[in-house]
Amino acid sequence: MRTVAEFQALAAPYHSEIRVPPFETTPAQIRDAATAAMAAGDAAIDRLVRQDPASATFESTFGALDALRSDAQLVAARFDLIQQSNPGRDMRDAGEEAVKKMQDWDIGIGYREDLYAALKAFAPRAPALSVEDRRLLDFTMRDFRREGFELPPAERKQVEALFKELSPLENDFQTNVIKARMPLVFTRAQLAGVPDSFLASPGVKTGDDAYTILVNVTPQRLMVEQNCSDAATRLKVSTAELHLAEDVNVPLFNRIVALRAEIARRLGYASWDDYQIEVKMAKNGATATQFIEDLIRGIKPKFDAELAELRALKMADTGDPKAQINFSDWRYYQNQVVKRKYTVDSEALRVYFPYERVLQGMFAIYQSIFGLKFEQLQAPYVWADGVTLWGVTDARTGEPMGLFYLDMFPREGKYNHFAEFSIQAGRVLPSGTYLRPAAALLCNFPPPSGGAPSLLDHQEVTTLFHEFGHAMHAILTRAHRGRFSGTSVPRDFVEAPSQMLENWTYDKSVLDTFAADYRDPSKKVPPEILSRLQEVRLATIGVFYRRQLSFALLDLRIHGPRPAGSPVDCLGETNRTLGEVFFPVPEDSAFIAYFSHLAGGYDAGYYGYAWADSIAADMATVFKAAPRGFLDPGAGMRMRQEIYSQGDARDVSVSIEDFLGRPRSIVPFLTKLGIK
Ligand SMILES: [Zn+2]
């Protein structure tokens, strides 16, 4: 196993630098590093604004701002990782606090008038620029415009005040969602159909014949909604969900939406969705809305067909020929259809997916298609036992591309989902050396137990292929500016490359390269189970997407244009849209109060999931048409050159079309949805 120093030495001939993030190990170090980073940033801004305008260059203005922000981001991203992964509570708390401080500091940069003045004075004198640097100039000036800097000073101050009022309200909204609690107590009979193993779990059995379901704990709620045969219980649970955080968040959300509309209006946008989407692929609210409405219409026959099947089951169940599927029982009947028709035992698949074999199998595939080599390095420091450090090199040239950490199993206090964290963005340093990226994967795979190795289910295998795809996007970048590095692409695109890679785990020839029964490796994944998994995916996709699309549309409607002086009726708009696109909900429902996406930066952005999905399906066609399918190195290298390596250094629409070799098409996505 090579040492980091040996790996670093390989970088010199390529004028690049491999840097191991200097992880802090005490809360005091975190606080000191945050203070030092912000002070260095302030000093760099002072140099920028105080320089002699006559001798200013692109590097000493726009370049300098990108560099100082990237330097600070390097530190903040490390703190974010510490906050999510460090075993010490004091370290996590210090990380969280430092991240917040640095975020506020960064927001403060956006309000500096002297900085704006210096950049604005230089902009018209900028020399001929590369595509990437032209974007850096345009985007930087656009950031200031979006903060109100092109308005007269008094009006700009008002916009700033509105933003400053908005931000804490959005935080409060999120906090209220997290804090919302709704216990409901049932008897065993009322929970008929719910598995005993779940009811016996700690905290659920709370009396002789009393079981407490926390509606705010998603797995608990889903357990009842999917399995309970008592319609009255399902109705009670589903209805309770529609009132979570209602009393606090309804007035808050109305205020948030009004503020957003007012900010957009003052900045010269027709609506908040236009403001939010301006910086994304879709460019404006109308384009996003049209995309979503077309899909809603397109998928209606598929949705109706799925619904008819659910309804038939309910009619048989209840003996009521007029039975209708409603918001409180679609999950239950969908689960019944899947169980009866497809009899997929997803647990039985686990034996084919021992963790180590899956990881090595995925490594082999990504190394082969993207032309890479991964090697484990002797890590100078890791934050917990079992965390490993890896180096990535270009297989053909031996050029070191970057580093990644793997932290794959659950631990007390650790981030409890699966995600990739880009901890070091790639970019050209002022010295001209390229700083190569570093990333980390935080996952929570089942630990080994009872003599068996860690065994993944199919969904977890798919998640690994997805998340590691983000790491590839981060590490393989060749963008010159930190702002455009790797995954810093528009939010309605960033998921697409990884969503595309999810196709790999449904492909028999891909799985056969690594998946095998850990007790007898001659046994491969049975093809019939795999095809049933695909059938289940297709059999439920109409309901899945109509639900997604209903959220996307209500988000766009709430944040869309409306006549001046007419406030949006958030609850009414939401309930109306759910009824039109998904299932009608009771008139007094307050779904929006518990829908955290609309206050966490995804406001006027929910459409992005389907948008990216459609691009993912389009991009997958390149591999499907290639000689070796999903294992094709030619298609993989094209992906690496045109998508991963570009980052956001050029318009992603150009990257996508260069990868496809043709204009984008919605047809592959419609085919995936089962729409002919
Ligand atoms: Zn993702």
Q: For 393-402, what is each residue's pLDDT tens digit?
A: 999 999 999 9
The answer to whether residue 301 scores a pLDDT higher than 90 is yes
495 C-alpha to ligand 1 centroid (Å)? 5
Active site residue 113: no
Mean pLDDT to the nearest integer, 591-618: 93
- Higher-pLDDT residue of 345, 483: 483
Mean pLDDT to the nearest integer, 32-49: 98
Mean pLDDT to the nearest integer, 130-147: 97
Catalytic residue among 306, 467, 502, 642: 467
Mean pLDDT of the chain: 95
Contact in structure between 483 and 422 (CB atoms under 8 Å): no
Alpha helices in 559-626 (DSSP H): 570-581, 607-624
The answer to whether residue 563 scores a pLDDT higher than 90 is no
Give the integer Cα–Cα distance in Å for 64 and 47. 9
Q: Which sign, positive or negative, has the C-alpha torsion 532, 534, 537, 541?
A: negative
SS3 455: strand
Please give the model's pTM, rounded to 2 decimal places. Answer: 0.94
Contacts 24+ apart (CB under 8 A), 18-21: 18/391, 18/400, 18/402, 18/403, 18/436, 19/424, 19/435, 19/436, 19/438, 20/380, 20/381, 20/389, 20/403, 20/438, 21/74, 21/78, 21/423, 21/424, 21/438
Neighbours of 6 (CB within 10 A): 12
pLDDT tens readout for residues 333-362: 999 998 888 877 667 889 999 999 999 999
602 C-alpha to ligand 1 centroid (Å)? 14
413 C-alpha to ligand 1 centroid (Å)? 22
Residue 565's pLDDT is what? Answer: 76
476 C-alpha to ligand 1 centroid (Å)? 17
Contact in structure between 21 and 438 (CB atoms under 8 Å): yes
462 C-alpha to ligand 1 centroid (Å)? 11
173 C-alpha to ligand 1 centroid (Å)? 24
482 C-alpha to ligand 1 centroid (Å)? 20
As to burial, measured by CB atoms within 10 angstroms (0-12 exposed, 13-18 middle, 19+ buried), residue 299 is buried
Give the integer Cα–Cα distance in Å for 143 and 151. 13
Contact in structure between 98 and 79 (CB atoms under 8 Å): yes
pLDDT tens readout for residues 493-548: 999 999 999 999 999 999 999 999 999 999 999 988 888 888 888 899 999 999 99
